[in-house]
Structure formats: structure tokens, C-alpha cells
């Protein structure tokens, strides 16, 4: 799952071991160990907690193991509703975002029109402005439009968080489709729509998939805006985490964390080739 868009420059031959090279290897090894502890440590520490009974400090493992906390989560109605809400908003967000943004992505890649660059930069504005500040300003408008604590209001917040992904990444993907291929298909007598459906779209699909995955996760993980606009009428899984951490035993929050992480990990694993292959990085450069 490493990033490999080019071959490293170092030659494959092994150099003889000198004190200097041993020292370097130890240094690199130490860095890797530190990174493993830094990145994976917190996740494992949390993961173990979901199956832990009693845990005496400072033991590194719990005293006994139990599945009790999973039952608590499954039997808790509020938590179930949060799962349902999350699974309702995320796909809807992706759909709405795709309808709004994908034609624009194609236009950015293929047409030159007045204001194109200005449009691209104003899209960036949603990302440049800190989310919490944005939601605080949005709240004033939502009060006036009666969108507070409504499904539409939450949907707006979620879609706003996906616009940059859904426009930029597919735009880069559409732009990367070679034009001579499209023209060749045209010359062979295919209609414009046919060319789009059987040449452009399939070639740009990895970028669109990455955008859809990122959007799904953005909606699935969105907490601050949903909390401000939707709580307590509509709780999703991440907003429920806020109250879980305060009101439930840590083990319950740990179980809930694992549940919340499953869709993210599954989707990311499914799309990781494209994400690491540069579709994401490519999308973030205005052209």
C-alpha cells in the first residue's frame, strides 16, 4: 500500500557494513518503531478496550476479557438510531453532491469559459475557511430560513463538505483522458454521448470513485456541523460519540468507535490503490 509512482534512485547492490551504515540503519529502525507506536499505538490501545473487563493500571493488558460492551451497544436504542441516521445521510450526500458537482467537474476539465479560474478558486474558499467558523456563520442563516434541526439543513452541511472533493478530483480525472482518444472515437462515427459513455467516463471512473469514497466518508465522519445544526433532534454516529464519551463507560465508546471505523476502513481499502496512485494528490492542484 505504499506510494510508488516512480522507482527509487538507489541501486540494488548492498553496501558493505561500516560503523556509519550500521548507525544509520539503527536510526532508521528507531524512527520506524517510533512511528509504529505513534500511529498504531492509540488505535490498538482503544481496540483492546472494546473487549476488556477490568483493567488494573499499570498492566499492559486487561485482567479479563468480555463481549458485554458489544451487547450494550446493540441493545441501546439511541445508538441504533445514530447508526441509521449515518447510513441515511452518507449515501444521500454522495448522490446529491454527484448530481451538483460532476457536470461542473467535466466543464472545468473540458471547456474554457469566462470566470473558470475564479470559479475554481471560490470552490477552494469552502476548504480555506475553517469549518467551525463556517458553521457558526451558517447557523445565523439557518435560523432565518428555519433550517435548524431539519434534514435539509444537515444535508446542506454535509454536501458543502464534499463539494471540493466532488469537483476537483473528477475534474483532474476528466482532464487526464487523452483528447485524441475521444476524437478517434468521434471519427469512427460514435455520437458525442456515446463517446462520453464508453470512452471518457470509464477512463475517468477511478477519479470519480475516489471522489465518491472521500465524500461518503466526509459525510459519515462529519461531526461539528451536524452537532451544531442537527443536535439533539438528529444524532449521527460521530455526534453520538461526543455524548458517548461523556456519559458511557469507556469500553462502550471503544465498541462504538470500532463500528464507526468499519465503513471507513472498508471503503478506503477498496479504493486505496486509486487514492495512493495519485488521484487525490492530482485533484488538489488548480489547473
Residues between 61 and 90 with contacts to other proteins, criterion CB under 8 A? none
Q: Alpha-carbon distance 256 to 249, whole Å? A: 11
- 33 is a contact residue toward other proteins (CB under 8 A): no
How many residues bind other proteins (CB under 8 A)? The answer is 110
- 57 is a contact residue toward other proteins (CB under 8 A): yes
- 23 is a contact residue toward other proteins (CB under 8 A): no
Peptide bond into 116 cis (omega under 30): no
Q: Could you say which residues in the range 141-170 bind other proteins, by CB under 8 A?
A: 141, 143-144, 156, 159-160, 163, 166-167
Q: Angle 45-210-208 (CA atoms, 0-180°, nearest 5)? A: 165
Output DSSP code: residue 42.
Answer: H
Q: Which is nearer to other proteins, 195 or 253 (CB)?
A: 253
* DSSP character string of 84-135: HHHHHHHHHHHHHHHHHHHHHHHHHHH---TTHHHHHHHHHHHHHS-HHHHH
Q: Which is nearer to other proteins, 202 or 214 (CB)?
A: 214
In the list 16, 130, 189, 232, the residue contacting other proteins (rule: CB under 8 A) is 130
Quick one: which segment of 4-12, 72-80, 184-192, 196-204 binds other proteins (CB under 8 A)? Answer: 4-12
Torsion of CA 160, 161, 163, 167, to 10 degrees: 180
Q: Copy the grid coordinates of residue 85.
A: 441516521
Q: Which is nearer to other proteins, 103 or 202 (CB)?
A: 103
- 116 is a contact residue toward other proteins (CB under 8 A): yes
Per-residue interface string for the shown chain with other proteins, residues 228-267, x marking contact by CB under 8 A: x---------x--xx--x----x--x---x--xx--xx--
- 223 is a contact residue toward other proteins (CB under 8 A): yes
Smallest separation (angstroms) from other proteins to the CB of 281: 4
In the list 26, 129, 152, 273, the residue contacting other proteins (rule: CB under 8 A) is 129
Q: Output phi, psi for 66, to 5 deg.
A: -155, 155
- 95 is a contact residue toward other proteins (CB under 8 A): no
Q: Copy the grid coordinates of residue 193.
A: 454521448
- 18 is a contact residue toward other proteins (CB under 8 A): no
Q: Copy the grid coordinates of residue 181.
A: 482518444
- 36 is a contact residue toward other proteins (CB under 8 A): yes
Q: Residue 148 burial (CB < 10 Å; 0-12/13-18/19+)?
A: middle
Amino acid at each position: 500500500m505504499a506510494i510508488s509512482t516512480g522507482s527509487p534512485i538507489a541501486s540494488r547492490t548492498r553496501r558493505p557494513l561500516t560503523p556509519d551504515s550500521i548507525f544509520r540503519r539503527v536510526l532508521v529502525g528507531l524512527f520506524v518503531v517510533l512511528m509504529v507506536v505513534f500511529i498504531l499505538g492509540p488505535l490498538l490501545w482503544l481496540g483492546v478496550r472494546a473487549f476488556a473487563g477490568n483493567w488494573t493500571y499499570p498492566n499492559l493488558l486487561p485482567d479479563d476479557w468480555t463481549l458485554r460492551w458489544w451487547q450494550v451497544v446493540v441493545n441501546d436504542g439511541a445508538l441504533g438510531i445514530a447508526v441509521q441516521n449515518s447510513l441515511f445521510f452518507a449515501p444521500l450526500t454522495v448522490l446529491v453532491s454527484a448530481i451538483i458537482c460532476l457536470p461542473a467537474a467535466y466543464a472545468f476539465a473540458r471547456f474554457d469559459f469566462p470566470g473558470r479560474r475564479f470559479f475554481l478558486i471560490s470552490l477552494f474558499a469552502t476548504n480555506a475557511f475553517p469549518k467551525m467558523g463556517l458553521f457558526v456563520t451558517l447557523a445565523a442563516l439557518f435560523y432565518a430560513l428555519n433550517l435548524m434541526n431539519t434534514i435539509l439543513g444537515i444535508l446542506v452541511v454535509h454536501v458543502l463538505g464534499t463539494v471540493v472533493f466532488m469537483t476537483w478530483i473528477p475534474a483532474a480525472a476528466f482532464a487526464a483522458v487523452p483528447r485524441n482518444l475521444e476524437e478517434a472515437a468521434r471519427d469512427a462515427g460514435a455520437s458525442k454521448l456515446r463517446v462520453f459513455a464508453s470512452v471518457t467516463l470509464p477512463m475517468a471512473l477511478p477519479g470519480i470513485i475516489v471522489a465518491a469514497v472521500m465524500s461518503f466518508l466526509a459525510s459519515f465522519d462529519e461531526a461539528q456541523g451536524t452537532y451544531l445544526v442537527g443536535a439533539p433532534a438528529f444524532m449521527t454516529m460521530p455526534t453520538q460519540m461526543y455524548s458517548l464519551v461523556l456519559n458511557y463507560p469507556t469500553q462502550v465508546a471503544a465498541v462504538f468507535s470500532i463500528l464507526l471505523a468499519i465503513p471507513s476502513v472498508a471503503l478506503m481499502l477498496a479504493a486505496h490503490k486509486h487514492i495512493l496512485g495519485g488521484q487525490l494528490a492530482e485533484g488538489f492542484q488548480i489547473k
